[in-house]
Structure 1
Amino acid sequence: DNFCSYCIVPYLRGREESFSSDSILKQIKRSKNLLTREILLMGQNVNSYLSKGRVFTDILSDVLNEFGDMRVRFITSHPKDFAIKIIEMMAENKNLCRHLHLPVQSGSDRILSLMHRKYTADDFREIVRLARKILPDITITTDIMTGMPEESEKDFEETLNIVNEIQFDDAFMYKYSGRRFTLSRYFESVSSEEGLSRLGRLIKVQQEIKKKKVLMLKGKTLEVLSERESKKSKSEFYGRDSGNRSVIIRGMNIQAGKLYNVKINEIAGLTPLGDIAEEK
């Protein structure tokens, strides 16, 4: 229901609809099996959930209480609706994954206003500050657009500034692409070449940040949920930790759907590799 000026989703999907807590719990029960170890709550904006007076933190509590032996994660959050209570719940419940995907889209207040995002860059900074104060090891990822119509070099520099300042663990970065029905089509456009150039500069900055962050994992032990066997070796499995980072697990007799404590002793490119320290 936000109708961001560049987004076609509201026109294709219609107004937001929140399913009742009972229907969500029943759907999970119908869908899970003996191998299910993780539940993903998904919505275009989970933080605007509202059903019969119940909000998103209520649903999180219901799912965590009902399925206490499973990991729970969610996507996607919107900064204007985000409740810091969610981070407090992460700190209190180890089964609620310590990952927050929070799209910033731009570091320029002028562009955020044109996007109809309904928050400022400082609003975003404050959410991140509080989240890291409550949970220092939280993983924070984001979405960022370049080449939004009307975006100046100064606006783009402000985006680079917030990326350098916040130090996201990862980011989905993309160039603006016009969509029918959207208001942004009527703004003064930025050339495709300039949008791509800015995207390349942004990717270079963020990749360096991610590399630094990944290298800091070496020597640490992560709790990793194994997902699938590597095509290269039967003694390697791909998995994800609570922060939604891809991890390669090394060891014999690894099973999909199991939780392992993995000590990271090598970094391959941007992917941590580790040996099993303990099966959970």
Structure 2
Amino acid sequence: MEKVIDESIQGSALELVSKPENSKKLFIESYGCQMNFSDSEIVASILAETGYNTTKVLEEADLVLVNTCSIRDKAEQTVRKRLETYQVAKRKNPGMKVGVLGCMAERLKSQLLEEEKIVDLVVGPDAYKDLPNLLVEVEAGRDAINVILSKDETYGDIAPVRLDTTGVSAFVSITRGCDNMCTFCVVPFTRGRERSREPQSIMDEISDLWQKGYKEVTLLGQNVDSYLWYGGGLKKDFVKATDLQKATAVSFADLLDRVATAFPKLRVRFTTSNPQDMHTEVLEVIAKHANICKHIHLPIQSGSDRILKLMNRLHTREEYFTLIDNVRRIVPDCAITQDIITGFPTETEEDHADTIDLMKKVRYDFGYMYAYSERPGTLAGRKMEDDVPQEVKLRRLREIVDLQQIHSAERTQAFVGQIVEVLVEKESKRSKAEWAGRNSQNLTTVFPKGHYQVGDFVNVLIHRCTSGTLIGEAVGYGSMQS
């Protein structure tokens, strides 16, 4: 399960997608994981070639699109509330068209379009190139839907419009879809089979970002560690590959090494990893390159072997501990973050205690923690009774969150008195006199602005901290500063 953001880009960076010849206006919002935000940049690029400039003002839009998430019920309910807001705007602007993109679009399909009649078009994650044709259908007064999943679409030939006004950090998609079939997860059904993007197109996109002044990229996929390219993209075809193709195959470790080597002054992050697919070769590449950030998001979901098996997680508790030991040995300064689901069907107090025990052993830097919500279409939704009472789920979740806060405070406290290198990303939320950025371990760091600018790498001496933020003062430019 990929890290959930639950916030909106709201058609940001208008100046980056404004073409004088375009006469229509697009308002686009994204909810959910980083992949949805990346996809929205692809959509904005496609529609920029179809006559649409982006706008931050909902009421003036000709086309309103919301890129959706189905990973949790809360995410779907958030989108439904936004659709109600769009309907209010549409009554004031009858020419406005509204569309739903992404995972929720694929999962609900015709329900939104035909039964509830609250949108004009529904477009799945693999059908964005069909948007121009679908808009023709909408303009002709017909409903439009395309939720067909693809076995090979990676959008590697689309140069995304960067919906990011700072121009500092960007997502670069390297895989799409997922083959893991965790019983709680809708991603394999809403995003289809896993496929890897051609490596040269990834390198070209990163080169373009570097030339435009970007200082950091995040290699993105539902499961980046299973990236594999031998000239076809689909993992399942690797067994049919020729000896030459196998000899020249590009793994995730290879790709990561290529990117870090080619762009030594560009920070490189990646997400998300799956424990059974992360190998020591990747860890050795991280340790080899100073510009690869020392942070791995490594979802565990549960500390109980019994629950892990029911979730169809393809590793055991002990195998996970072995991986953690390897991370600590090979990349000793690496931050490790988690996803945990509590209250999965049949979870007992003993299972919950196993999760608490695992957290105490690993002592994560940060985490994304959720109470289980049944997702229609998943194996758990079809075959397992959601039998853990809500009050029990919430109590267990509270215990998990409280423990994580203790561990997070320990991790941040360890930086007090140290100098960390920070990439300045934006103004601090708490003060216009301070900059905010992240260190290699992905910790937000704030410090007085001084003469530094957005996009600078700055060494910051940490004086104090909260459980999630480092606070200090600049002591000079960092080693990554060009």
Range that drifts further, 160-169 or 228-237: 228-237
**What is the CA-CA distance between 1:33 and the residue it aligns to?**
4.5
Gaps of 5+ in 1: none
**Which letter does structure 1 place at the counterpart of 2:472?**
G
Q: Which residue of 2 aligns with 1:27?
A: 205
| Map 1:35-74 → 2, pairs under 5 A | 35-52=213-230, 53-74=249-270
Rg (Cα) greater in structure: 2
- Let me know the Cα RMSD of the aligned residues: 1.3
Contact (CA 8 Å) 2:408, 2:467: kept in 1 or not? no
* Residue 329 of structure 2, aligned match among 133, 137, 147: 133
Change over 3 Å in CA distance of 1:13–1:150 after alignment to 2:
same
Gaps of 5+ in 2: 1-178, 231-248
* Residue 414 of structure 2, aligned match among 193, 204, 216: 216
Q: Which residue of 2 aligns with 1:9?
A: 187
Tell me, in whole angstroms, the C-alpha distance in 1 between the residues paired with 2:201 and 2:368.
31
**What is the CA-CA distance between 1:43 and the residue it aligns to?**
0.4
Paired-residue identity, %:
39
Contact (CA 8 Å) 2:409, 2:466: kept in 1 or not? no
Tell me, in whole angstroms, the C-alpha distance in 2 between the residues paired with 1:117 and 1:206.
22
Tell me, in whole angstroms, the C-alpha distance in 1 between the residues paired with 2:424 and 2:408.
22
**What is the CA-CA distance between 1:231 and the residue it aligns to?**
4.3
**What is the CA-CA distance between 1:188 and the residue it aligns to?**
3.0
C-alpha distance after superposition, 1:113-132 (max 9, x if no partner): 00001100111111111110
TM-score by length of 2: 0.57
Change over 3 Å in CA distance of 1:259–1:114 after alignment to 2:
same
Tell me, in whole angstroms, the C-alpha distance in 2 between the residues paired with 1:231 and 1:210.
21
* Residue 445 of structure 2, aligned match among 226, 247, 254: 247
Tell me, in whole angstroms, the C-alpha distance in 1 between the residues paired with 2:285 and 2:468.
29
Name the structure, 1 or 2, with higher relative contact order (CA <8 Å, separation 6+).
1
Contact (CA 8 Å) 1:235, 1:254: kept in 2 or not? no
Contact (CA 8 Å) 1:214, 1:272: kept in 2 or not? yes
Tell me, in whole angstroms, the C-alpha distance in 2 between the residues paired with 1:105 and 1:97.
23
Runs of 4+ in 1 over 6 A off after TM superposition: none
Count the aligned residue pairs. Answer: 280
Tell me, in whole angstroms, the C-alpha distance in 1 between the residues paired with 2:466 and 2:317.
34
**What is the CA-CA distance between 1:32 and the residue it aligns to?**
4.2
1:236 counterpart = 2:434: yes
1:195 counterpart = 2:410: no
C-alpha distance after superposition, 1:187-208 (max 9, x if no partner): 1321222111110111011101
Contact (CA 8 Å) 2:412, 2:466: kept in 1 or not? no
**Which letter does structure 2 place at the counterpart of 1:20?**
E
